[in-house]
Amino acid sequence: MANLSTAPHIRGGLLTSTIMRDVTIALLPALVMGVFVFGLRALLVIVLCAVTSVLTEYLYRRLMKLPQTVSDGSALVTGLILAMNLPATVPFWIPVMGSVFAILVVKQLFGGLGQNIMNPALAARCFLLISFPALVGAGMPAVGNLFREGAWQFVSGLTVDAVTGATPLQMLKDGQTVDLLQAFLGLHSGCIGETSTLAILVGGVYMLCRGVISPRIPCIYLASTIGFIALFCAVTDRALTANFLVGQLVTGGLMAGAVFMATDYTTSPITAWGQVIYCVLIGLLTALFRVFGSAAEGVSYAIIIGNTLVPLIEKVTIPRAFGKRGGAK
Amino acid sequence: MKMRTFKHGIHPNDGKALTADAAIQPFFPKGEAVYPLSQHIGAPSKPVVAVGDTVTVGQMLAQPDGFISAAVCSAVSGKVKAIERRRTVNGKEVKSIVVDNDGLFTPCEGYDTPRDYTTLSPGEILDIVRDAGIVGQGGAGFPTHVKLTMKEGVQPEYILVNAAECEPYLTSDYRLMLERPEQVLEGLQVLLHMFPAARAVIGIEANKPRAISLLTEKTADTPRISVQALDTKYPQGGERMLIRAITGREIHATKLPISAGCVVLNLSTVVSIGQAVCHRIPQISTVVSITGDAVANPCNLEVPVGSSQREVLDFAGGLKAEAEKIISGGPLMGISMISLDVPILKTSGAILAMQRDEVAMWEPTACIRCGRCVRACPEFLLPPMLSQAADSGDWESFEKLYGIECMECGSCTFVCPAKRRLTQSFRTAKATLNDKRRAALNKG
């Protein structure tokens, strides 16, 4: 006897796990670059985040007797994004604690995939940043064990305390100029996955080509951030140089935030106009934090504040049904 | 030629290669013919024959009962065996006229004799269309004479012929265009005669280039008829999507096409009109694509209405492999059938037998809010919010989110990576809401 069900009877081939796999692939260039620049210790942080995230999700679903969801790949993505946002110098319990917080508190306790009100990885990073500012926020590892001291240092970075240095974003805030090409390539201090604008863009283009993200969110977010930074500098009589503006774009977490975090499906609006409002808003917040805040960075906070406003934004941007447009009733 | 289309929509694999090159073959049933009295939207037809009567091909078996109703004519000759409830395509039992087919196909008087439409008034044409039992063959089965009846002082600007055939696998309209273009044009001439202020546009999806070039050539010297190529995109053949694509006008779900100056007819409906008016042949047959990867010999058959679907499928060599799902119609809006022992209806366009049921292959998982459904919905609805409202019984939100306007095209469900059964939940919610409204009306 043939199956019975109501239409439609066919399904497209795309699965949630395919999307997550594509995001994972897109994250690889930035993460590989992080390991390349910050040494094997960065790899260990990445692996710790990934393993702890997946394990936390597995254990929670198992203990709560819920359907197992590890295979959809979303926990892995969360782990990788968290690792991307941590400096390679953190003690090893930091990635473990952050991953447990991201998956258990932010994701699973809110109902699991698709139900969280904030991006789990970003919320975990902010939690770590507030709780352990000295470990997560300051003392970014300096670049270049591999370039300066050769392979031995690259490997031994695992055991010795890495040299720390000011991030280029901090230098910009302090009124210095930065080497934009170095910044674009990612040869500077910072978090594991955020330094190389080039590597992030490669991942972003891959996701665009695979239809995982649309250019709308990253483009508007970047434009809004730079626009508001320029505006704030103009009204506060700060020196506004091209080096400063472009530097804002290629240093710090802005590019990683725009490509991988603001585009998170669950925590960004599903309506077209909602996405525009959301991006302008988080751009405004990023600019506010970066120009007027005490820290040089502001992307994470801006995005998670934006995340919490998404239900409201969606409520006011429900599109008019077909044929209800243009005032016609 | 410049392509036109609507916004959003999906691009499923069209599966048409299975039958696109199969010429339409005649099929004559051997077994009894069953004519359900509800093959259309509106009141069931009223029988005008009694058990024991002898009927001929083309003879009216049941007349319309009220304005929104349709006649039913016999496609076989023989004796009326019974008037009883029989199972139909959607699984329901419907009062039907059963004719014992004598296999002779004796035509009724005047059947297939020419008639000059130019001498007929619009009112006379409407009567012919009504008595020929013509209903929309796009799937819904709305009585065509009702569609063609204009309010005083209203004249359509456009006659839009829906030849998009956007449902995957279906090739019956395509074959009609290739093999019987003169019948299409004949039907259109009748309509243009009825509506002297109108011009006709045939909308064809770009995946049928041969049909586009053939009809463009055939209409070259009829200035009132033109062909418009459309993007290959589902649901291009949705009535309001087609109006949007061809005229640029957007009308709301509660409005009729005439509010945009349009009359939209399916290609095979146009052919039926021409046949009824110019040749006195009522709507007693339909071209059906017998297709899918489980069918032995995929083909296109011209099937008398009332024939058993099992007999039709057997004629096409039956199944070559076990079919997990058998669908009457296309895979996106068709009806999966509980049994093949049901008749071919006027609205039947395909018997689709598939080896794999993709619905059963996937269990729904959590919505990740990726927004693919939002970008697919041709009605600009928000399926994630609607499904939340529908599943939690929040009817107020469902209505506020325009849920009642969902046309159940299935696009959101097709693209969903979490394999959520969105259309199904909207269909249930809409039915519940309609019931509530009806109950409220009855109380008030």
Query: Could you identify the residue written with the tokens 């009724």?
Result: B108
Give the C-alpha separation, B360 to B323, whole Å: 13
Closest Cα of chain B to A286: distance in Å?
24
Q: Chain B: nearest CA to A56, how far in angstroms?
A: 18
Cα B45 vs. chain centroid, distance in angstroms?
A: 19
- Establish if A96 belongs to a structural domain: yes
- Is the residue at A9 inside a domain? no
Enumerate the H helices of B1-143 as residue ranges. Answer: 122-131
Higher per-residue pLDDT: A180 or A204: A204
Residue A11 placed within a domain: no
A12: nearest CB among B369, B415, B423: B415
Does the pLDDT at position A328 exceed 50? Answer: no
Q: How many other C-beta atoms are found inside a 10 Å radius of the C-beta of residue B268?
A: 27
Residue A68 belongs to domain with CATH number: 1.10.3430
The sign of the torsion formed by the CA atoms of B39, B43, B45, B50 equals positive
Choose among B333, B360, B367: nearest Cβ to A7. B333
Q: Which one has a higher pLDDT value, A170 or B32?
A: B32
Chain B contacts in chain A segment 160-219 (CB below 8 A): none
- pLDDT at position A325 is 62
Average pLDDT, chain A: 89
| pLDDT of amino acid B443 | 79
For chain B, which ranges sit under pLDDT 50? none
User: Can you give the residue ranges of every domain in chain B?
Assistant: 16-21+112-279, 372-443
Report the largest interatomic distance among the alpha carbons of chain B, rounded to a whole angstrom: 64
Residue A303 lies in a domain: yes
CA distance A80 to A83: 5
pLDDT score for A145? 47
Q: How far is CA B429 from the centre of its chain?
A: 24
Element (H, E) at B78: strand B78-87
Provide the pLDDT confidence category of residue A190 given band limits of 50, 70 and 90: confident
Chain A residues inside the 8 Å CB shell of B335: 6-7
> Could you identify the residue written with the tokens 């996955």?
A193
Q: Which domain holds residue A233?
A: 16-315
How far is A148 from chain B, CA to nearest CA, in Å?
Answer: 44
- Residues B117-142 have pLDDT tens digits of 999 999 999 999 999 999 999 878 99
What is the model's pLDDT at position A170?
A: 84
Q: Please give the pLDDT value at position A36.
A: 84
- Walk across the sheet containing B60-63 and list its strands: B46-47, B60-63, B72-73
Residues A14-40 have a mean pLDDT of 93
Q: Is the pLDDT of residue A125 over 50?
A: yes
ipTM score for this prediction: 0.90
User: Which chain B residues are Cβ-neighbours of A270 within 8 angstroms?
Assistant: 369, 371, 374, 382, 384-385
State the pairing for strand pair B72-73/B78-87: unpaired
Task: Indicate if the pLDDT at residue A155 is higher than 80.
Answer: no
Please state the rounded mean pLDDT for residues A266-275.
96
B residues 88-117 lying closer than 8 A (beta carbon) to A:
91
For B333, B360, B363, the CA distances from B421, given in Å and listed in that order, are 14, 11, 9
* Tokens linked to A11: 């399904």
**pLDDT value at position A165?**
64
- Tell me which chain A residue has its CA closest to the CA of residue B424: A6
B-chain residues near A4 (CB < 8 A):
91, 336-338
Residue B98, classed as helix, strand or coil, is strand
- Does A308 map to a domain? yes
Distance CA B81, CA A317 (A): 60
CATH topology of domain B16-21+112-279: Rossmann fold (3.40.50)
Nearest to B324 among A2, A10, A328 (CB): A2
Containing B72, the helix (H) or strand (E) segment is strand B72-73
Mean pLDDT of A85-89: 90
Contact (CB<8Å) B380/A328: no
Pick from B256, B363, B368 the residue to mutate for testing the A interface (most A CBs within 10 Å): B368
pLDDT of residue A159: 40
Among partner residues B244, B332, B402, which is closest to A10 by beta-carbon distance? B332
The structural domain count of chain A equals: 1
Q: Report the pLDDT value the prediction gives residue A114, as an integer from 0 to 100.
A: 93
Residue of A nearest to B415 (CA): A12
Q: Does residue A148 carry a pLDDT above 60?
A: no
Task: Give the per-residue pLDDT at A161.
Answer: 45
Contact of A320 with chain B, judged by CB distance below 8 Å, is answered with yes
Q: Residues 352..381 of B with a Cβ closer than 8 Å to A: which?
A: 353-354, 357-362, 365-372, 374, 378-381
Identify the residue with better confidence: B176 or A185. Answer: B176
Q: Is A327 on the interface with B (CB under 8 A)?
A: no
Kindly determine whether residue B410 and residue A7, on different chains, have CB atoms separated by under 8 Å: yes
- Collapse the DSSP code of B118 into the 3-class scheme (helix H, G, I; strand E, B; otherwise coil) and give the result: helix
Torsion angle of C-alpha atoms A207, A210, A214, A217, degrees rounded to 10: -10
pTM confidence score: 0.92
How many A×B Cβ pairs under 8 Å?
157
Residue pair A223/A213 in contact by the 8 Å Cβ criterion: no
> From the CA of B405, how many Å to the nearest CA of chain A?
8
Q: Do the Cβ atoms of B34 and B98 come closer than 8 Å?
A: yes
Residue at A328 is within a domain: no
Q: Is A239 on the interface with B (CB under 8 A)?
A: no
Confidence of residue A143 (pLDDT cuts 50, 70, 90): low
* Residue whose structure tokens are 């709305």: B142
* Cβ separation B336–A329 shorter than 8 A: no
CB proximity under 8 Å: B 299-338 to A:
323-327, 331-338
